[in-house]
């Protein structure tokens, strides 16, 4: 029988469901109607969905009608790349980075298979994008630039606001994958000036199976999933009312607690790194020293493979990760 994990340190992969979120979802189970139905049960479900949409939109400075619920952050990211099919033919080039989440890298690869030129930005030793390289790649042919707000493995935070402004100066659209950033650092679409911003609930003690995509009013978009008229015709399929209720609840909680939580996690991260450094002086801190997520610590060790450390810790009931959980089978450090 597997030993239960007494210490869970893989919150960038997923988080346990918060009891208050579970309570909100349990209550939402009583609202069983289809949000697209016009009878009372349907109207109750619609009210739940729209109230949740307002809570989430307010948290990132968006309008409720700019929020589209999806089944995951990965779906939201793929939907953005699918939107390129509605772009003018003169703008067909894509720019992204070499350190994006696998769903973005594979969506970009799919676009390349369809014949669209894709350029990959390099990053420095701290994980920061080379902005001069971005400047040289931007052109009148650039359709979309996609740069994650914060990296899921090393925690480096990008200056996505500056990147967005650079893109808009050349007439390109800007997307940021904010799945790891939301609720951990301030995320405001007006300050970032993003055209698209994707995020999800399960990195914040919310439920799995629900994400969202911010689409700036007026930004081109074409549905990835076709069918009914749900989500103002932008994402077909009956809305996951229970998951959406849980999403809104965790956002309400994060709005009230984020500043305190950032301070707590920053202190814990600093203490953990100092402890590792004291015991193992040859350990290397990976990422940016200051522009980094408060709860993410990435460390490498000489002459030891990542999977060996991971398995040894697992036997002691400590859960850690060596890479993105979405990179199936990857155990590289």
Least confident of 85-94, 127-136, 138-147, 228-237: 85-94
Strands 211-215 and 173-177: unpaired
Pick the CATH number of 7-16+258-319 from 3.40.50.1980, 1.10.10.1100, 3.90.340.10, 3.90.1150.10: 3.90.1150.10
CA–CA dist 280, 61 (Å, integer): 44
Residue 239: name the closest of 248, 251, 230 by CA: 230
CA–CA dist 167, 144 (Å, integer): 8
pTM: 0.93
Residues with active-site annotation: 326
Q: What phi, psi does 30 have (nearest 5°)?
A: -75, -20
| DSSP state for residue 92 in the 8-state scheme | -
pLDDT value, residue 326 = 61
Pick the CATH number of 20-252 from 3.40.640.10, 3.20.20.70, 3.40.50.1360, 3.40.30.10: 3.40.640.10
Using pLDDT thresholds of 50, 70 and 90, give the confidence band for residue 1: very low
At 209 the three-state DSSP class reads: coil
pLDDT value, residue 3 = 56
- CA–CA–CA angle 293, 297, 303 (5° rounding): 150
Cβ neighbours for 60, distance < 8 A, ≥ 6 positions apart: 182, 187, 188, 189, 197, 199, 214
């Amino acid at each position: 029988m597997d030993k239960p994990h007494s210490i869970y340190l893989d919150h960038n992969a997923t988080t346990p469901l918060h009891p208050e979120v579970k309570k909100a979802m349990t209550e939402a189970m009583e609202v069983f109607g289809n949000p697209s139905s016009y009878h009372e049960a349907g109207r109750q479900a619609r009210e739940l969905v729209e109230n949740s949409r307002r809570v989430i939109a307010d948290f990132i400075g968006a309008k409720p009608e700019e929020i589209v619920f999806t089944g995951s952050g990965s779906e939201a990211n793929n939907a953005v790349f699918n939107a390129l099919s509605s772009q003018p033919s003169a703008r067909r080039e894509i720019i992204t980075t070499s350190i994006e989440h696998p769903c973005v890298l594979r969506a970009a690869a799919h676009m390349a298979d369809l014949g669209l030129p894709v350029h990959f930005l390099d990053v420095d030793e701290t994980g920061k994008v080379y902005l001069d390289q971005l400047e040289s790649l931007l052109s009148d042919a650039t359709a979309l630039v996609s740069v994650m707000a914060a990296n899921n493995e090393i925690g480096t935070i990008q200056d996505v606001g500056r990147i967005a402004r650079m893109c808009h100066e050349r007439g390109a659209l800007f997307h940021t994958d904010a799945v790891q950033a939301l609720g951990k650092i301030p995320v405001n679409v007006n300050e970032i000036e993003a055209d698209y911003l994707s995020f999800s609930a399960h990195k914040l003690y919310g439920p799995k199976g629900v994400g969202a995509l911010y689409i700036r009013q007026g930004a081109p978009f074409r549905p990835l999933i076709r069918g009914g008229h749900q989500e103002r015709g932008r994402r077909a399929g009956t809305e996951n009312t229970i998951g959406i209720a849980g999403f809104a609840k965790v956002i309400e909680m994060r709005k009230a607690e984020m500043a305190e939580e950032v301070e707590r996690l920053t202190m814990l991260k600093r203490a953990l790194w100092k402890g590792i450094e004291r015991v193992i002086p040859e350990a290397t801190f990976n990422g940016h020293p200051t522009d980094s997520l408060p709860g993410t610590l990435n460390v490498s060790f000489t002459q030891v493979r990542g999977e060996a450390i991971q398995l040894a810790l697992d036997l002691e009931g400590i859960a850690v990760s060596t890479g993105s959980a979405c990179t199936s089978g990857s155990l590289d450090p």
